[in-house]
Amino acid sequence: MQCRSTTASATLVMSETAQFTDDTVFELQRHFRFQWEPAQQGFVLLYPEGMVKLPGSSGEIMKRIDGKLTVRGIVEDLQTTFPGTDLRGDVIGFLEHVHGKGWIRPKQAG
């Protein structure tokens, strides 16, 4: 899973070490927007200073970070969509990566 930023500032502020469980629900940070970008032929994450291209499986995982699905739900949905593959390790690694970059956060109560 590889994410490519179009600007160096995409790292933003590093978060604390990712601590989450199968029951954690993630949402995008406030200033980010996830969308399909026809010009890029793929999913992108937009933020005020630029854009991050999310090719392949990165986009598939980010598509499921909707503030509703738990980590377990994301893994189960992906394994249903792409049967025959154990994706848990890749999903957890990606979530740790994007959480560490400050793109997502555990959903706030309320």
| pLDDT tens, position by position, 23-81 | 999 999 999 999 999 998 999 999 999 999 999 899 999 999 999 999 999 999 999 99
Q: Would you state the pLDDT for residue 11?
A: 35
Q: Would you state the pLDDT for residue 5?
A: 46
Amino acid letter for position 53: K
DSSP single-letter state for residue 98 = H
Tell if the pTM clears 0.85, that is, is over it: no
CB-facing half-sphere around the CA of 33: CA atoms within 13 A: 8
Q: Checking DSSP bridges between strand 50-54 and strand 104-106, what pairing results, if any?
A: unpaired
Q: Checking DSSP bridges between strand 104-106 and strand 42-47, what pairing results, if any?
A: unpaired
**Domains located in the chain, CATH noted:** 23-106 (3.90.930.60)
| pLDDT tens, position by position, 65-110 | 999 999 999 999 999 999 998 999 999 999 999 999 999 999 987 6
Q: Is the dihedral of CA 94, 13, 51, 34 positive or negative?
A: positive
CB atoms under 10 Å from CB of 54, counted, come to: 26
Q: Would you state the pLDDT for residue 110?
A: 62
Degrees to nearest 5, angle at CA 49 with 65 and 92: 25
What SS3 class is residue 19? coil
Q: How confident is the model at residue 9 (pLDDT cuts 50, 70, 90)?
A: very low
